[in-house]
Amino acid sequence: MKNKLMIAVAAAVLMLGILSGCGSGGAGGQGQDPAAVKIELVSDPSPASVKQNTKLIAEITGLITEKDANVQFDVRRENNEGLPEFLETKAEGKGRYTAETTFDKPGEYAIYIHLYQGELHITKKRPLTVQ
């Protein structure tokens, strides 16, 4: 009897999730298809250099609207040495989000670009070589 009750509760929760549009992106990303969103990473200067101020630029396409979109960079050494650095970005319009940083060491970095919009959260990993 207890198992049947648990199954009924799980089915009810699943139905509520489907009816409420779970996974559709919520109020901020409602109707947004995450697969349609493309995120590219560019650095200025390119290639990035050690001890030089570098602008990281996320170029985002495929969003239905940029309203309430928030982008964050998660900068990590490719070998996961040290702690990640989190950078808040500034929206420049037309899908461009930028943040500035200075790299202390040369090498390969993994830049995780986090896009938040309402309940929508998309993360893309992009490589960056610092000379």
121: nearest Cα among 58, 69, 56: 69
Are 41 and 56 within 8 A, CB to CB? yes
Please tell me the total number of residues recorded for the chain in this structure. Answer: 131
- Cα(96)–Cα(115) distance, integer angstroms: 12
Domains and CATH numbers, the chain: 2-130 (2.60.40.10)
For each of the chain's 131 residues, which pLDDT tens digit applies? Answer: 544 444 544 444 444 443 334 344 444 566 789 999 999 999 999 999 999 999 999 999 999 888 889 999 999 998 888 889 999 999 999 999 999 999 999 999 999 999 999 999 999 999 999 99
Are 37 and 25 within 8 A, CB to CB? no
